[in-house]
Chain A
Amino acid sequence: NAGVMQNPRHLVRRRGQEARLRCSPMKGHSHVYWYRQLPEEGLKFMVYLQKENIIDESGMPKERFSAEFPKEGPSILRIQQVVRGDSAAYFCASSGDRANQPQHFGDGTRLSIL
């Protein structure tokens, strides 16, 4: 399967714990994006990364959220000290280097906070 791979598919955390969401882009893609979908809403941009660089984090909450895309391995979205409001579906997308290429999405991680 050469698509965008996200894991885990479902993640349950208690308030105050940390959540780590992983994303492996499509083969040949070097651009990774994270989006969040709250219940009954559309997807909202969070962050855009290339290898080892955060390019645009304008959609990231100022506290508790961080993202990385290391030279080796998947991109990680990290949420520290989770709260109930963090419950959502988190989607990762990737794209290639050419302009006007569509972003291709993974199946998401559904995060539930108890």
Chain B
Amino acid sequence: DQQVKQNSPSLSVQEGRISILNCDYTNSMFDYFLWYKKYPAEGPTFLISISSIKDKNEDGRFTVFLNKSAKHLSLHIVPSQPGDSAVYFCAREYGNKLVFGAGTILRVKS
């Protein structure tokens, strides 16, 4: 069972501060993880990814950290902006398909 779990249904952050979204997974092997952002009535938009041969990947305000021993990854958004308010999904590539977490609603307050 290639589970991906996002245990926090929601997160509220002040504008300009750091947002940290978390994700846990099971049954590790060589893996490729992705983060998507989703606005209401739109499809998921790819944000950033990381291969399990790395510990960190950075793209502008977005950084993903992978802790293989803890089977945990996190997405850091610095600084957070009101436009970042959305649902964030972590996903794991398993074969040819993506396995998604249930999502975390991020609200950035101005």
Chain A residues close to B by CB (< 8 Å): 4, 6, 31, 33, 35, 41-45, 48, 55-56, 58-59, 91, 93, 100, 102-108, 110
B98 contacts partner chain A, Cβ-Cβ < 8 Å:
yes
Report if B1 contacts A (CB, 8 A).
no
**B97 in contact with A45 (CB, 8 Å):** yes
Q: Is the CB of A42 within 8 A of B49?
A: no
Which of A41, A45, A58, A110 sits near B98, CB closer than 8 Å? A45
Query: Does B93 belong to the interface (CB within 8 Å)?
Result: yes
- Which B residues fall within an 8 A CB radius of A? 32, 34, 36, 41-46, 49, 51, 89, 93, 95-103
Interface hub of A31, A43, A58 (most chain B Cβ within 10 A): A43
For the residues of A in contact with B, the DSSP-based class is strand
Q: Mind listing 5 A-B residue pairs with CB under 8 Å?
A: A31-B96, A42-B100, A43-B44, A93-B43, A107-B42
> A residues within 8 A CB of B96?
31, 33, 48, 55-56
